[in-house]
Amino acid sequence: MERFEKDLVDALKDIVEAGNWQCVGEKSTFKSPCTKFYSDDGEHIVLVHTKDDKFWAMDSSCPHEGGPLEQGDIEDLGNGKLALICPWHYFDFSLETGSSSTGLQNQVYDVRVLDGKVYINTQSTLSLCPIPVTEIPHQDSLPVEITSSENTLCMWATKILHTADPQEKVSLTKIVQENWDRGKITETGEASPPAQPNRKDNLTVVEPGKIKRGKGGTLASRIALLHSLANIEQWAIDLSWDVIARFSTFRLSNGEPLPRQFFDDFIKVAGDEAKHYQLLEQRIMELGSFFGALPVHNGLWRSATDTSQDLLARLAIVHMVHEARGLDVHPQTLSRFAAQGDTSSVKVLEVIYADEITHVAAGLRWFTYICSKEGRVSLKQNDPFKSLFMTFTGSTTCSYSMAIKEKTKLKSLLP
């Protein structure tokens, strides 16, 4: 089992890594020293082409006051190392590490040249032109269909999914978690969850990736980062209750139902996510703003929709890949707050990070449990990546097939 889990994690890492490499164009087109790429999440990137024919990439906004680094000069600082100089206040940023002699730190990205094309490793979609923001109309959720007694876990799960107010959602989550742990709720029950959880009407919802989170260099950008995280945590509460309600009647190939421990784990995950949202909302208010002051997106729920008919796909994509990506970027986010002396926000982020590790573990635990019970994957004789793909043959999601194509195309670029 330990070998199985290690191979599975390695395969998932390949999926994430392969999906992050983006071809930004032919090498011959980048004749200027600096080229700005607009990112779908607002964190734009500057591609630097030096005289020794090497490519580098970093955030295009200076972490000091947002100066346009794509308009800066490239200079040798005297130690053989090149730096990009901000045109506003002349802060220097190493092309190799993103560090500055001023103590500031900019985010850098791996760049590779393959077959005459330039690739940048980033999760964001890049474009040479600004990416327009498109608002998404609010979608009404389907009415709840309760098919069992009123005091069941699934009944409460669907009630929480229909709750639009995030504070009430948090409160209900804590109550249900306590009642389940104390044995006041004993039946799992059955209920049809809504197609999409309810949200308050005053939220401005935009396309995923169109949120300008900022880089933490200013108060406004720190609030934007916390606001984005709070939005993710609210969706994470719903995802936990949805996996409980949607797959409560799931049966293994031998007819066995999911054990109680499955529901124990995801109730705990829901409780953790509720705690995270509450901590983030409180911190946002301490900084002089409130949740809903900025636009939000529903990208995480789209993955839930794609995996609504396949528990294995849901566990792998939502509870392992997405949560694992969050862990990957968390240290970078935390360091941005620490660099600004925002210790209160750092403490909140540290709590979230510790809990999220257990959430990835929960997804992995139940994925491997189902696979081992059903004998769906044998990783001893086959390539792990191929075996993982075969697990999802017939799944409603195309994420893995897309990742495999990327992995094949960029195989030589992977670490």
Together in a domain, 197 and 274: yes
Residue 414 falls inside a structural domain: no
Q: Which of 254, 240, 277, 244 is nearest to 351 (CA)?
A: 277
**The predicted structure's pLDDT at residue 235:** 95
Together in a domain, 297 and 364: yes
CB count within 10 Å of CB 325 equals 15
Residue 254 falls inside a structural domain: yes
Together in a domain, 236 and 325: yes
Q: Is the pLDDT of residue 225 over 70?
A: yes
Q: Tens digit of pLDDT for each residue in 9-58?
A: 555 555 545 557 888 999 999 989 999 998 877 778 999 999 999 999 99
CATH number for the domain that contains residue 284: 1.20.1260.10
- Which range, of 136-140, 141-145, 227-231, 274-278, averages the lowest pLDDT? 141-145
Question: Got the DSSP string for 166-219?
Answer: HHHHHHHHHHHHHHHHTTS--B---EE--SS----TT--EE-TT------SSSH
Together in a domain, 31 and 57: yes
Together in a domain, 233 and 346: yes
Per-residue DSSP letter, 152? B
Q: Which of 173, 197, 185 is nearest to 268 (CA)?
A: 173
Distance CA 211, CA 232 (A): 12
**The predicted structure's pLDDT at residue 230:** 95
Q: Which of 332, 333, 352, 334 is nearest to 281 (CA)?
A: 352
Query: Which pairing describes strands 82-85 and 117-121: parallel, antiparallel, or unpaired?
Result: unpaired
**The predicted structure's pLDDT at residue 211:** 62
Together in a domain, 114 and 164: no
Query: Which pairing describes strands 21-26 and 82-85: parallel, antiparallel, or unpaired?
Result: unpaired
Q: Which of 100, 122, 102, 99 is nearest to 110 (CA)?
A: 122
Together in a domain, 73 and 171: no
Together in a domain, 196 and 71: no
Q: How confident is the model at residue 89 (pLDDT cuts 50, 70, 90)?
A: confident
Contact at 8 Å (CB) between 30 and 117? no
> Last residue of a domain, which of 65, 92, 127?
127
Q: Tens digit of pLDDT for each residue in 141-179?
A: 434 343 444 789 999 999 999 999 999 999 999 999 999
Residue 9 falls inside a structural domain: no
CB count within 10 Å of CB 128 equals 11
**The predicted structure's pLDDT at residue 101:** 87
**The predicted structure's pLDDT at residue 236:** 95
Residue 116 structural domain = 20-127
**The predicted structure's pLDDT at residue 132:** 65
CATH number for the domain that contains residue 84: 2.102.10.10
Residue 140 falls inside a structural domain: no
Together in a domain, 175 and 306: yes
**Tokens encoding 371:** 């696979």
**Tokens encoding 198:** 């309810």
> Last residue of a domain, which of 74, 96, 127?
127
- Count up the domains in the chain and report the number: 2
Q: Tens digit of pLDDT for each residue in 261-306?
A: 999 999 999 999 999 999 999 999 999 999 999 988 888 888 888 8
Q: What is the pTM of this model?
A: 0.65
Residue 47 falls inside a structural domain: yes
Together in a domain, 66 and 159: no
Residue 14 falls inside a structural domain: no
> Last residue of a domain, which of 93, 127, 161?
127
**The predicted structure's pLDDT at residue 162:** 96
How far out from the chain centre does Cα 282 lie? 22
Q: Tens digit of pLDDT for each residue in 306-365?
A: 888 989 888 888 887 777 677 767 777 888 888 888 999 999 999 998 888 888 888 888
Q: Is the pLDDT of residue 5 over 60?
A: no
Distance CA 241, CA 153 (A): 9
- Which range, of 191-200, 241-250, 370-379, averages the lowest pLDDT? 370-379
Residue 134 falls inside a structural domain: no
Residue 388 falls inside a structural domain: no
Together in a domain, 172 and 277: yes
Together in a domain, 207 and 159: yes
